[in-house]
Each structure stands twice: as structure tokens, then as C-alpha cells.
Structure 1
């Protein structure tokens, strides 16, 4: 009986390690896009991924044919959404300002954009995952895409007056 448990535990660990080897890079990139951190300096994204992978490992035996990547991505997205609510919607904590390419988007816009365009999640699935109406997901995705494609212009450069030679 004990040997069987050890063998099952070893098999579970090998399966999970294989999953992580294949999926961690893409999941880390998705988390980095969500947090809008630089790829080489992404502590929030790494923490988000670690929590998502730990959650997946804890429920590994209960997956029963479910896609572990999909389960991990779902947890990553919902954990980010909850964290963004705490950061921007009530319990504000001091954090570094996002600096990545998606930094000018709101956290919700980043989440929808990453799910839809980077991860290829259908609108219906994104809406169900986040508990949002389908039209809201569509609007957020369109707004985020427009913001990225047509960034707001900065102020016009100051026009220097005529130069006067010193006398």
C-alpha cells in the first residue's frame, strides 16, 4: 500500500513537472503582460504564476481530463482580477507603477486583451470566467485595442521664439 502511494506521488510529480516545463514560459509571459511589468523585472508576474501553479498542483489529481493549462490560466486571470480590485477598487496598496507596453490600459482592459488576443480565449469564455456580460467584454477589448493602436498624443512641443543675439 505504501509503495503504491509513493509510486502515485512520483508519477504525479513527474506529470506536473512536464506540464510546468511546457507551459510555464507562456504563462509567465501572460502574467507579465497582465501586470504590465518589464519582462526582465517582473516580481508581481512571477508571484502570480507561482500561486497559479501551486493551485494547479494542489488540484492535479482532481483534474480528471481537464486541461491543466486552461485551469492554470483561469486561476491566473481570476487572481489578477481580484488583486487589481484590491489595488484600484478599494484596498489600495503601494505598488510600483506599471511600465510595460500595456501600462496605459486599465487592469481590466489588460486582462481582457491578454485573454482574448494573446491567449485566444473566446469572448463568451472570457465573459463567463470574469462574470461579465458579453457586450462588456467586447467593449473593453475594443477600447483596449484602440488605445494601443492609436495612443493619445502628447502635448505639442513648445515653440521657441526668435533668437536674439546677445549684445
Structure 2
């Protein structure tokens, strides 16, 4: 099969998943679209040379590397978030408030910490797969994931406690 056709099929099959992961990383639809576009630009330039490399791992590595590198270059200003109003537990407004609070806490993590949490818990990758995606060692994945989770517990203890309780 022609490499260009393979690229088109891969992008059409995995585009939505890449967009979701980019949104989780950036927390903004426009920034996510830009990140996916940057990823595609790099992917197209390198596609002919990628040969027998697993395209899923290859594009994921590009996506996460572009995100972390882009954050380093721009150093965007962090805007303060308003606290959601007090709402009764169990209603949709409360759940939405928790999601907003959690999203704000994720935005306060470093790009690498956010990338690790998305890879490990959203994309459900193993430590070895996450390490390969970010080009770091599995031990770094373990330690930085632990640090990121601890930081989330400090930022939003009630929401994380509810989440951890629902997981068990």
C-alpha cells in the first residue's frame, strides 16, 4: 500500500482520539486543534521516513513532545479560576462543578505531569508505554505520576477523594 494512503487512513481513523487527548492536555479546544495540527505537520514531514515504526506510538510521541516543548517556549500566563458555587452532592450541577474544579487543578500541573496523567489514566497506557511516548524512563514515569497525583490531592482534595472512592 502506498505510504500516502496509509497516512490518510491512519489520520482518519485516529484523528478523533488525538483531538481528545490534545484537549485533555491543553484544556482548550482551539489550543487542542493547534496542537493536533502541529502534530500532523511533523507527522507528514516524517511519514515517509518512519518505515515500519508503529504509527500509533509514533504520532503519540510527537503529540506529547510538541505539547511539552510548546509549553516551554510560550510560558503562558496562568489565569485565576473562580470557585464553583456550593451545590448539593449528587446533582448534575455539582458534578459539573467538580469537573470544572478538577480541570482547573489539572491546568495548574506542569505540562509533563499533565501528559503523564493523560497517558496513564485516560489513554490507559502502561508505565513502559508512557515512558516510550515521552522518551523518559519507566522509573521517571512512576515517580512523576506519584508527584502529579499528590499535587492534585493538594489542589482539590475533595474531588480527588471522590474520584478515588469511585475507582475502588
Q: TM-score range by the shorter chain?
A: 0.5 to 0.7
Residue by residue, what CA displacement relative to the aligned partner does 1:59-92 show, whole Å, maximum 9, x if unpaired? 22222222222111101111111122234xxxx3
Residue by residue, what CA displacement relative to the aligned partner does 1:108-165 show, whole Å, maximum 9, x if unpaired? 2101111222223332343355454533321221233455567246xxxxxxxxxxxx
Q: Where do 5+ consecutive residues of structure 1 fail to align?
A: 1-7, 154-167
1:134–1:24: structure 2 CA closer, same or farther, 3 Å change rule?
same
2:64 matched residue in structure 1: 77
TM-score, normalised with respect to structure 1:
0.65
| Higher helix proportion (structure 1 or 2) | 2
Q: CA RMSD in A?
A: 3.1
- Higher mean C-alpha deviation, range 92-101 or range 137-146: 92-101
1:21–1:136: structure 2 CA closer, same or farther, 3 Å change rule?
same
Runs of 4+ aligned residues of structure 1 deviating over 4 Å after TM superposition are 93-100, 146-150
2:9 maps to 1:22: no
2:113 maps to 1:126: no
Alignment of 1:1-167 (within 5 A): 11-37=2-28, 42-87=29-74, 92-94=75-77, 101=103, 102-148=106-152, 151-152=156-157
Count of aligned residue pairs for this structure pair:
137
TM-score, normalised with respect to structure 2:
0.65
